[in-house]
Structure 1
Amino acid sequence: MKKTTRQLQKEETRTALLQAAYDVFSSQGIQASRMADIAKAAGVSHGTVFLHFPTQERLVAEVLEAYCGEIAQDTHLSAVSCRTLREFLDVHIAGISRHEPFYTRLVIENRLLPQEARDAWTGLQSAVSFHFSQVLERDRAETGGVEGEAELPLSLLFNTWMGLVHYYLGNGDLFAPEGGVLRRHGQTLTEHYLKLIHKKELICHGVAENAN
């Protein structure tokens, strides 16, 4: 059935509100943003926002569902062609970089969000974890993987990577005060992580420290 002009306008307004909320959340923070801020950014009345989203919690949840889903889909499309862990880490960094201000807000504020919104965040991390494990298995099968990493459990390998990335994003004022943490440090994070899980590298580093 063909949609009416009114239905199309309603969908366009809803899409504009989600985009405006994404932009406002990225710049101001999720907890600090008000419905009035989003209405102003979208160029609509305050009441219009509530016609589409009866509560701010519902708006927050839908923004996270939309954009966490987009990041997860981007990761999926890119990860299927990755053959090594290094390739996947670069892809993951690139995917987050496209949404860095918004993603950083999630890193900082996710524990303060309503449960529906947190579910979207958890779903994104689960999707990334799945592809991480798939690529790691391909890496191990085809190239032998990173020397020494097979002795580490998958959960530790994944959580160490995410912890490293999230630490840099959560402390961006220290690592890149002008913005663009991942643009500036993404390659360094990848290199550091691969060395961190490299058994021989860790052993040699420990020997060098003891010698000093």
Structure 2
Amino acid sequence: MPEARAPTRIQRKNRAAILDAALDVFSSQGFRGATVDEIATAAGLSKPNLLYYFPSKEAIHAAVLEQLLDTWLDPLRALDPSGEPLEEILAYMHRKLQMARDLPRESRLFANEIVQGAPRIHDVLSTDLKALVDEKVAVIRAWMDAGQIAQVHPYHLIFSIWSLTQHYADFDVQVRAVLGPEDPFAAAPEFMETLYRRLLTPPDQA
């Protein structure tokens, strides 16, 4: 059986252009509202040319989500069990906030998928994501049991970090409407660091 040829530079460039355009379209229109024609136009390709790389809208969406999910899990993977507990949790919060600032399209795409019931990533949520969260919750519980950080519900701690940080991407229009010309990310890091330091500092160290 002949070996599959490595993609050419043009093929890699076109595939990357399609996925970037799809990210734009899916994050603004949602899966149902997006069309292959819109994605092709945004990518600067003809529809037949796009379909050479991806046979359907579903295939494009699956490729974008696969690329996104690995990126999405990286900040939590980086939480180091051997690190200083409070600083590790704050660093995780800062990484998530930076993602909201630098990757707003990805955040909105993920939010759209979840709001629709996660039909295309439910298996990943209940396997890869759950396993990673369970692993890090065990680390956080060990820190709490050792008295290194205050006792709080570890799962809801992670949920709160997700909610607070991703809000700046998913509700960007609302945030900017309220703040006006102020950069949403100017004061957010200091506010969240103060919030979590007060929450997680043990009472005898406060």
TM-score, with length taken from structure 1: 0.67
Rounded to whole Å, the distance in 1 between the matches of 2:84 and 2:29 is: 36
* 1:96 CA drift (Å): 3.9
> 1:133-170 CA deviation, whole Å, 9 max, x = no partner?
3663575488x3333x2xx3322322233233344544
Rounded to whole Å, the distance in 1 between the matches of 2:186 and 2:163 is: 18
Say if 2:143 is the partner of 1:145: no
Instruction: Answer whether contact 2:101 2:169 (CA < 8 A) is retained.
Output: no
Name the amino acid aligned to 2:45: V
1:17–1:68 distance in 2 versus 1, CA, 3 Å: same
1:98–1:154 distance in 2 versus 1, CA, 3 Å: same
Instruction: Answer whether contact 1:79 1:131 (CA < 8 A) is retained.
Output: no
* 1:91 CA drift (Å): 2.6
Instruction: Answer whether contact 1:61 1:120 (CA < 8 A) is retained.
Output: no
1:97 corresponding residue in structure 2: 101
Rounded to whole Å, the distance in 2 between the matches of 1:127 and 1:181 is: 32
Q: How many residues align?
A: 194
Task: Determine helix, strand or coil for the equivalent of 1:44.
Answer: coil
Rounded to whole Å, the distance in 1 between the matches of 2:168 and 2:62 is: 25
Say if 2:176 is the partner of 1:176: yes
Name the amino acid aligned to 2:154: L
Instruction: Answer whether contact 1:107 1:170 (CA < 8 A) is retained.
Output: yes
1:44–1:133 distance in 2 versus 1, CA, 3 Å: same
Question: Aligned-pair RMSD on alpha carbons?
Answer: 3.8
1:210 corresponding residue in structure 2: none
* 1:180 CA drift (Å): 6.6
Task: Determine helix, strand or coil for the equivalent of 2:156.
Answer: helix
Gaps of 5+ in 2: none
Rounded to whole Å, the distance in 2 between the matches of 1:121 and 1:189 is: 26
Say if 2:34 is the partner of 1:21: no
> 1:70-112 CA deviation, whole Å, 9 max, x = no partner?
2323553x43485332222223322443212320342244232
Say if 2:83 is the partner of 1:86: no
Instruction: Answer whether contact 1:100 1:180 (CA < 8 A) is retained.
Output: no
1:195 corresponding residue in structure 2: 198
* 1:176 CA drift (Å): 2.7
